[in-house]
Chain A
């Protein structure tokens, strides 16, 4: 799980051009969206959907994304549950 979390952090930084951040700056339990955490927006959500689709072969809807993308950890948990 921790390995998957680190992998996701790197992919997120690359896909969303968060070039000021390193994986260490991202708290896996912090909210991805909204002002409290990374402050991602609707375009970022679409990029996250693409990461799941392209890199993990998992298709989800935008609606499902709301739950899955709460934090890096919830993303990782969802991916492992699908891969199990």
Chain B
């Protein structure tokens, strides 16, 4: 089998600095920050506007995008389309023309697109209330399908990942696997999010927003800045001028707390370790690391611990957040684009505002630019639900020759899918509840199911309904199974993401009651995977997909790639959805049975 690699052949950023990667690069070269005080995004309990330090895409950029794509798209979609189109039409990174096969334009090239977003068109749920129908566009799969079709992708080749703040890095890790396995030749990864009151008031209720430009890793850091943007990366099995190699990618969960980062940093370390192992590199090979670096006290502490565990404490580290804020579902992609530029230019922009290291373990950050001898870069992200992701990007001349399966299942440069068998399966939905005498009464049904587990866990009652469903279904699924923390991956999907809790959070805002942290924390679907991971102490891969219905075949196909490459021998694969009393869970415990020699 051929020795496939995933090359970053083109990219495009839509940010507050404008449309096109070069606009953002020029701003960073000039040391500019897009973070400024902005009104209209948050109110206090008396209903007064409260200015927030954040990074917004200017109206003229939105207008320009609307002129190109038409008035039918939301702001978030315009960002995504602008970045996607830019990457697809773009020239190769060295300024030359792109190889037709790399760009996906040639006949017979198998193409896919992965959209990565935390909240997509969340602005559409404003004022929906308890009784009105949820607009179709608020469903992430609907938005992805319309955008994907518009860009020329068939329904079956459109994926959506909503995995909190690691969505972008997770999408890159997945894209690499889809290319290495030979399923696709060209994969476009599009990360995007647009800010509104829903998002800003939620983060404010967590007391995690900084009143000034954020200062990652600094002793005086006091929180994050939010931002909005989109970025797209086109990956191809064909190199094109100047292409950087996406040499490794892995995901983990720290099974500690749904909003508080791990106190040990072990799971972020697992993700970094596995991504580096796939890339075939050691700590001494890493030229620099671009971390999540949100500038919250606990995130940055956790990262410093993970760096120490990974042997990377001396490696130059940066965070882009002081320039563009935390752009949520876009962040992993936009930051990977910028890292690829840094690798090629031999220059690292640095972390403005950093002066005195304020983390328990050393972080080799620096406020200004540094010239470095470039070979490999580690890019990470961490997010709510306890999730972590890491990718390794390498200059082509440094990228190793073999990307063989990490756990020794297969030799050579091809990722071979593992064979899977279903060990157990649990299904729960409105029908099964009705059969057991709980027609249209989810609260009573799930409480009864919880009681029959025979556990005492006050946390169960604090969860939203989807997480309760996940908690109970996974507990039944795993009963009596013996495993280690890294033995299980959790790959889930649903249709409504976290819309049920989204509507609750929105209702709090619409009624003037204000954001409740206990509600807002569940406005991400992967918090359900996080609760499952916490309950069962699972630290393996963790990814949440959104699709119209349960596409079991597609989920199993990806599970077979994850199990082939990760330490895990089991995966929880399935569907878990809850919206306004309609629910369904279909979870399977699958086992890796063989490796094709």
Residue ranges of A at the interface with B (Cβ–Cβ < 8 Å): 15-21, 38-39, 41-44, 46-47, 49-50, 53-54, 62
Contact = CB atoms under 8 A, between A and B. Distances in A.
A53 B258 CA distance: 24
Given A17-B462, A18-B458, A46 B206 contact: yes
A42 B298 CA distance: 12
A47 B516 contact: yes
13 contacts: A16-B518, A19-B461, A21-B458, A39-B458, A43-B518, A44-B518, A46-B518, A47-B516, A47-B517, A49-B207, A50-B205, A50-B516, A54-B45
Nearest to B207: A62
A41 B458 CA distance: 11
Contacts of B258: 43
B461 A20 contact: yes
Contacts of A43: 258-259, 462, 517-518, 521
B535 to A, nearest CB: 15
A21 B458 CA distance: 9
A42 B260 contact: yes
B461 A46 contact: no
Given A15-B518, A17-B462, A47-B517, 12 more contacts: A15-B516, A19-B461, A38-B458, A42-B259, A43-B259, A43-B518, A43-B521, A44-B462, A49-B207, A50-B517, A53-B45, A54-B513
B404 interface: no
Contacts of A15: 516, 518
Q: By DSSP majority rule, is chain A's interface helix, strand, loop, or mixed? A: helix
Contacts of B458: 18, 20-21, 38-39
Interface string B375-393: 0000000000000000000
Interface residues of B, number: 18
B145 interface: no
Contact of B518 (A19, A20, A47, A54): A47
B257 interface: yes
A18 B459 CA distance: 8
B207 A46 contact: yes
A9 B257 CA distance: 25
A39 B521 CA distance: 18
Nearest to B443: A19
Contacts of B513: 54
Contacts of A21: 458
Nearest to B513: A54
A18 B462 contact: yes
A44 B459 CA distance: 11
A44 B258 CA distance: 12
B586 to A, nearest CB: 26
Contacts of A20: 458, 461
Contacts of A46: 205-207, 517-518
A46 B45 CA distance: 15
B514 interface: yes
A16 B518 CA distance: 7
Nearest to A38: B458
Interface string B512-552: 01101110010000000000000000000000000000000
Nearest to B259: A43
A41 B514 contact: no
A42 B518 contact: no
Contacts of A54: 45, 513-514
Nearest to B515: A50
Contacts of A49: 207
Nearest to A53: B45
User: What are the 7 tightest A-B residue pairs by CB atom distance, in nearest-first order?
Assistant: A46-B517, A17-B462, A19-B461, A43-B517, A47-B518, A17-B461, A42-B260
A58 to B, nearest CB: 12
A19 B516 CA distance: 17
Nearest to A49: B207
Contacts of A17: 461-462, 518
Contacts of A16: 462, 518
Nearest to A62: B207
A39 B458 CA distance: 8
A53 B46 CA distance: 11
A56 B271 CA distance: 45
Contacts of B260: 41-42
Contact of B514 (A39, A44, A50, A62): A50
